[in-house]
Structure 1
Amino acid sequence: MSLLSRQRILLRQPQFFATRAFTSSRVNASRLRQPGEPTGPNEPPTHIRTPPSKSPLKVWPILAILGLGTYLFNQIVEQRKGEGYQPKGPIQGHSPTNMPAIEGTAAGSRSSPLWSSDEVTVLFVLGGPGAGKGTQCTKLVSDYGFKHLSAGDLLREEQDRAGSEFGEMIKTYIKEGTIVPMEVTVQLLENAMKSSIESGENHGKLFLIDGFPRKLDQAHAFERSVCPSKFTIFFDCSEAVMEKRLLHRGETSGRADDNPESIRKRFRTFVETSMPVVKEFESQDRVVKINAEQEPDQVYRDVQEKLKERGVKPINLTFVQTQAS
């Protein structure tokens, strides 16, 4: 019998189909789907559910902490109300050494000026260290009758005064090239002005205050408690020229701060703390700017011209000739 005939006979037998059908479906029909199994490739098991959260975020502890912090902050603010200026630790423009604060000064406790600008004429004189402020002030005193007060000189005198409570403090600040607390400087200036007026030597009540104010808070404190200034003479000079002048002066001055290290510290302090004073007064049209790199005589001629524009005139000296006996 041929092979073809055999295949035809097998196809006619029903057992063949039953066997093949059972065999072909054995893989898928070998087990039934168990409860909870997914019915499709992307369907999660029916018995799995996301459990409800048993620990939701509690808001009230956070609110309690914020409330406590606000209360404590307000208590600190209330405790510090009315406290005076006390430099503690490193402050810009101040020595990092802890120093005693100045308490109970008359100028610091006053809320209105001791003198008005109509009673007393005050001109501030500012410029970097070595700009020539002292030289020009000497000329102005001679020709205009001003009383020259140097904040730096007053501080140096105070540090050497026997029994001074703050002599050592001032000495340290000056050596470091930083700014002495304003309470000291303002009070020393007020004392010097009072002494000049009460002695009768300053009939016009005219003051040149040299090297002050060196910070905005000094300017505000002085004008608030002592006297408002008319305007400020600002001697503008480059650091290179000023350093050369200071080093030359240091050869004979004997000043502790006329050395390269202290000079550079003083330059930085002036730029960071005193230039904001110049800018504020300049915005109020209360600054006379002078080129201080010229020869002293030319600088003085420029000063005289600027003062004339502001209505400040030199004094007229009258010489009386006496007959010889």
Structure 2
Amino acid sequence: MLDNLLRLSSVIGRFAQKGQVRILSKLSVENSAKSCRGKMSLPKPNIVFVLGAPGSGKGTQCEKIVKNFGYVHLSAGDLLREERSREGSEYGELIENYIRNGKIVPVDVTCALLENAMTQNMKVSGKDSFLIDGFPRNQDNLDGWQRRMSEKVNLKFVIVFNCPEDACVERCINRGKSGSNRSDDNIESLKKRFDTFINDSLPIINHYKEQNLVREVDATKNPDEVFEDVKVLFAD
């Protein structure tokens, strides 16, 4: 065994004289560094909340913002509907019952879907600016977001699209007639949703007003005219 150790020592010595031991060590360090960089956390996403009554035109304006300013549009409602229809979803039946009754889905479900969508988008596209449409809608949403997500994102501001109930209901009914395939685009559900917005979402808007984060937009005009006002908010 002593002879083997002496031969091994001699081999290492020859490699060291040639600088090859240092080279192997350097390669090891570089590979470790690359591995660490690969595990680094993603940057904080930039967030703009988009609020307004059902039918106020949030989705339409978000499409225009995406096209002109490169944001990623995440609709809390769309994410919930997709999860509701996803085969094998553990939340599907629960989400269906809440949506049909015009109620707000539990915040932990919504936050989980939003966080996952942002993470996947940043990994795939590299984009880190998001429009979150229709969230937070009530105090429970706000509390859950503050608890789970507020430290993980940069909230830039909150857009609020203002539109009266009769105009919103008419838009949603027309959307249903044109084949939106949304089970909640009916008079009964719409009135419940509008009442929910007034009772639950307005206090959230007031909360962000106190922080000077709310940017209000008149949504009664046609979509192109509304977007002229929206563009000003993103020009800075």
TM over 0.5: yes
Which residue is equivalent to 2:225?
Answer: 298
2:126 alignment counterpart: 202
Aligned mates of 2:81, 2:126 — CA distance in 1: 23
**Match of 1:159, as an amino acid?**
R
Counterparts of 1:267 and 1:281 in 2: how far apart (Å)?
Answer: 20
Counterpart among 32, 45, 54 of residue 120 in structure 1: 45
**Richer in helix (by share):** 2
| Letter aligned with residue 286 of structure 1 | L
- What are the superposed Cα offsets for residues 70-121 of structure 1, whole Å, 9 maximum, x if unpaired? xxxxxxxxxxxxxxxxxxxxxxxxxxxxxxxxxxxxxxxxxxxx987xx321
Which residue matches 1:218?
141
Instruction: Give 5+ residue unaligned stretches, structure 2.
Output: 1-40
Aligned to 2:62: 137
Cα distance between partner residues in 2 of 1:210 and 1:242:
16
Q: Which residue does 1:238 correspond to in 2?
A: 164
* Structure with greater proportional strand content: 2
Per-residue Cα deviation, 1:31-75 (whole angstroms, up to 9, x for no partner): xxxxxxxxxxxxxxxxxxxxxxxxxxxxxxxxxxxxxxxxxxxxx
Rounded to whole Å, the distance in 2 between the matches of 1:307 and 1:290 is: 13
Could you tell me which residue of structure 2 aligns to residue 56 of structure 1?
none
Tell me the equivalent position of 1:175.
100
Matched, 1:307 2:230: no
Aligned to 1:15: none
1:284 to 2:208 alignment: no
| Cα contact 2:69–2:234 (8 A) shared by 1 | no
| 1:1-150 alignment runs, 5 A limit | 119-150=44-75
**1:265 corresponds to:** 192
Provide the C-alpha distance between the structure 1 equivalents of 2:158 and 2:110, rounded to a whole number of angstroms. 18
CA contact (8 A) 2:176 2:185 kept: yes
**SS across alignment from 1:197:** helix
Output one character per residue of 1:242-299: Cα deviation in whole Å (capped at 9) or x when no partner.
Answer: 0110111111212111110000000010111111111110111000100000011010
State whether residues 222 and 228 of structure 1, in contact with CA within 8 Å, keep that contact through their aligned partners in structure 2. Answer: no
Q: CA deviation at 1:177?
A: 0.8
**Which residue of structure 1 aligns with residue 28 of structure 2?**
none
Superposed displacement of residue 163, structure 1 = 0.9
Deviation readout 1:167-196 (Å, 9 max, x if unpaired): 011001111111000000010000000100
Matched, 1:248 2:171: no
- Per the alignment, in what secondary structure is the counterpart of residue 274 of structure 1? helix
SS in 2 for 1:229: strand
Count of residues in Structure 1 that have an aligned counterpart in Structure 2: 192
In the TM superposition, residue 215 of structure 1 has moved relative to its aligned partner by 1.1
Is the Cα–Cα contact under 8 Å of residues 155 and 170 in structure 1 kept in the other structure?
A: yes
What amino acid does structure 2 have at the position aligned with 1:157? E
Moved over 6 A (4+): none
**1:231 partner SS:** strand
Counterpart Cα distance in 1 of 2:69 and 2:228: 13
What's the offset of the Cα at 1:228? Answer: 4.5
What letter corresponds to residue 216 of structure 1 in structure 2? Q
* 1:247 counterpart SS class: helix
Q: Secondary structure at the match of 2:221?
A: coil
Among 72, 80, 88, the alignment partner of 1:155 is 80
- Can you list the C-alpha shifts for 1:286-315, whole angstroms capped at 9, x where unaligned? 00100000011010000111333xx2xxxx
Partner SS, residue 217 of structure 2: strand
Root-mean-square deviation (CA, aligned residues, Å) is 1.5
